[in-house]
Structure 1
Amino acid sequence: MEASKVYFADFRTTLTENLQQKLWRLLDKAGMGTIDFDKKYAAIKMHFGEPGNLAFLRPNWAKTVADYVKAHGGKPFLTDCNTLYVGGRKNALDHLDSAYLNGFSPLSTGCHVIIGDGLKGTDEVYVPVEGGEYIKEAKIGTAVMDADVFISLSHFKGHENTGFGGALKNIGMGCGSRAGKMEMHNAGKPRVHEKRCVGCSMCTRVCAHGAITIADRKASIDHNKCVGCGRCIGMCPQDAIACDYDESNIVLNRKIAEYTKAVVDGRPCFHISLVLDVSPNCDCHAENDVPIVPNVGMFASFDPVALDQACADAVNAMPANPQSALFDEGAEHDHHDHFHAAHPETNWQSALEHAEKLGLGTRTYELVKI
């Protein structure tokens, strides 16, 4: 396969060009303006940051992308889907509160925020995955699939399960509904934490398949009846129902690649990754640790696979931050792969290998510096 072009700009500025203007120039050079945005709805998929985390992308970056879409006649909106875990973004109301708290509003970004899978994480579309080995139909947030154009705006950082979180992670995992996220993380069936359960029966009222029963003031789930819709997770007032995160990291990465294919197939797409504040863990954490490397720059491409590979290569080419987790006592630092050093049990290459196999893009790239 022919090498894909990945465009790069560093974070240096001048008296006549600030970072937002530089990002605009990068988008222009990378060809984002060739997309037909005229009167089209454009989903800008990003992470709004878990409250307490300060490494997420600032709203200013989102505004630049939204303004670019509007300047080309499009109708942009920022979007993300609800989380599977218990936190500040497990339903649309909490999710919007978190987004507003972290600065994402129409006033700061120039466009609206729409939670892709609705109030309780159950507004979903079943999307076929051509060539999928693990997923035949991906469960994607409805608003994400309703958009005419799809844009990913990713904060490139480490991740405790996938090695790093870049374009594929932002798209595949981020656009899955609650049931979709369960499908990627395990066999798609939740479980009950009995110590937290008070037997309130709220879960039984929303289960359409009679899979949940209450005995001795404790809920239990019959996995033979459960379809993995996730409604019980969103409904439980005690946060007593959760997913078993028991899928292997390699299979998880491959499922993320297949979900990404479901999201991007059949419509214009463009991908942007900002490699700054490269924390060792995901922005889903309610905290962020010291960056593992210095800030690198901004990347853009039509190819999400090449983009992730270029970002990973750029991070691994940087010196490790001696004040970061890479140098914790007992850590065995690998100077060739910072992500594997931070999380030795992960294999980030597995996502890119599978994505390339699916025809999502190529790991071979030409880096064009502007």
Structure 2
Amino acid sequence: APVDIMDEEGTAMLPVKGGKWFTEMSVGSHMLNYDSLLVLTHFKGHTMGGFGGSNKNIGIGCADGRIGKKMIHTGDTGTQWGISKEELMERISESAKATADHFGDHIAYINVLRNMSVSCDCEGTAAQPVVTPNIGILASTDILAADQASVDLVYALPEKYRHDLVERMETRHGLRQLSYMKELGMGCDRYVILDMDHGDKPITLAEAVKNVKPFKA
């Protein structure tokens, strides 16, 4: 398949509407060549973000490597260490909003809740072992609903299965991603889960996780 490196030929600035940290975000210029975007995300924990869902995927992933990512991670002091955990979540969300607003109704999100380590995939063989059981796959045209439902499904697991991932989310203030997305008007945190295996039947969180089993390597 053809591969298109978004910032291979420079960058472009997308507006950030209603942000308090940014008025615009730098992305790869090739992104403007596309009229739709399908965001496929491996939902898992993250060392800095608490969790990596659709919001973090496009917030960090669509920011270009030279300018955008530096904007997100650099505070007023000139170093990333000058940024509080909650501020980082807000900066990621504002960056994500730039991309989400750019594509408007022509963007959709898929979160895959399988092999969920507390570590990001980028840590490779250094990642912490997976202890959270597989849950399934969520899809939505609403970025906040997708990430909120993913987090809620993790919290709906028995405590012994959710403990490590929930601890990672909370100690990094990752849930600020969700509350700030709501403040920015990026979506709705109330949703209905439709079970695609049973004819679009609405199901509860408890029903969605009742058959999960401990992860076995």
Q: Distance in 1 between matches of 2:80 and 2:89?
A: 16
Match of 1:341 in 2: 167
Q: What's the offset of the Cα at 1:341?
A: 1.3
Moved more, 299-308 or 260-269: 260-269
Match of 2:57 in 1: 170
Where structure 2 has 5 or more consecutive residues not aligned to the other structure, the ranges are 197-217
Q: Among 46, 68, 80, which residue is 1:159 paired with? A: 46
Q: Distance in 1 between matches of 2:159 and 2:134?
A: 11
Match of 1:256 in 2: 92
Q: Distance in 2 between matches of 1:351 and 1:273?
A: 15
Compared CA separation, residues 164 and 137, structure 1 to 2 (3 A)? same
How many residues in Structure 1 have an aligned counterpart in Structure 2? 192
Compared CA separation, residues 245 and 140, structure 1 to 2 (3 A)? farther
Q: Among 281, 300, 307, which residue is 2:119 paired with? A: 281
1:298 maps to 2:186: no
* DSSP-derived class of the 2:37 partner: strand
Structure-to-structure mapping, 1:146-295, within 5 angstroms: 146-178=33-65, 179-187=67-75, 244-267=80-103, 268-287=106-125, 288-295=127-134
Q: What's the offset of the Cα at 1:351?
A: 1.0
Q: What's the offset of the Cα at 1:338?
A: 4.4
Compared CA separation, residues 343 and 274, structure 1 to 2 (3 A)? closer
Matched to 2:34, the amino acid is A
Q: Distance in 2 between matches of 1:280 and 1:339?
A: 5
Q: Distance in 1 between matches of 2:82 and 2:130?
A: 28
Q: Distance in 2 between matches of 1:344 and 1:302?
A: 26
Q: Distance in 2 between matches of 1:161 and 1:167?
A: 15
Q: Distance in 2 between matches of 1:155 and 1:183?
A: 24
Q: What's the offset of the Cα at 1:183?
A: 1.1
Q: Distance in 1 between matches of 2:32 and 2:86?
A: 26
Where structure 1 has 5 or more consecutive residues not aligned to the other structure, the ranges are 1-105, 107-111, 190-222, 224-242, 323-334
- The answer to whether the 8 A contact 1:280-1:291 is kept is yes
- The answer to whether the 8 A contact 2:116-2:134 is kept is yes
Match of 2:187 in 1: 361
Matched to 1:258, the amino acid is E
- The answer to whether the 8 A contact 2:44-2:120 is kept is yes
Structure-to-structure mapping, 1:60-75, within 5 angstroms: none
- State the identity %: 31
- The answer to whether the 8 A contact 2:118-2:164 is kept is no
| CA root-mean-square deviation | 2.2
- The answer to whether the 8 A contact 2:14-2:102 is kept is no
* DSSP-derived class of the 2:62 partner: coil
Q: What's the offset of the Cα at 1:245?
A: 4.7
Q: What's the offset of the Cα at 1:344?
A: 5.0
* DSSP-derived class of the 1:361 partner: coil
Q: What's the offset of the Cα at 1:266?
A: 3.9
- The answer to whether the 8 A contact 1:292-1:321 is kept is no
Match of 1:114 in 2: 4
Match of 2:211 in 1: none
- The answer to whether the 8 A contact 1:185-1:246 is kept is no
- The answer to whether the 8 A contact 2:132-2:165 is kept is no
Compared CA separation, residues 352 and 257, structure 1 to 2 (3 A)? same
* DSSP-derived class of the 1:365 partner: coil
State which structure, 1 or 2, has the greater radius of gyration over its C-alpha atoms: 1
* DSSP-derived class of the 2:194 partner: strand
TM-score of the aligned structures, taking structure 1 as reference length: 0.49
Q: Distance in 1 between matches of 2:122 and 2:99?
A: 21
1:139-189 CA-to-partner distances (Å, cap 9, x unmatched) read 111222321101100000001111100000001111101211111111389
Compared CA separation, residues 297 and 358, structure 1 to 2 (3 A)? same
Q: Distance in 2 between matches of 1:147 and 1:245?
A: 35
- The answer to whether the 8 A contact 1:127-1:140 is kept is yes
Q: Distance in 1 between matches of 2:154 and 2:169?
A: 15
Q: Distance in 2 between matches of 1:246 and 1:343?
A: 20
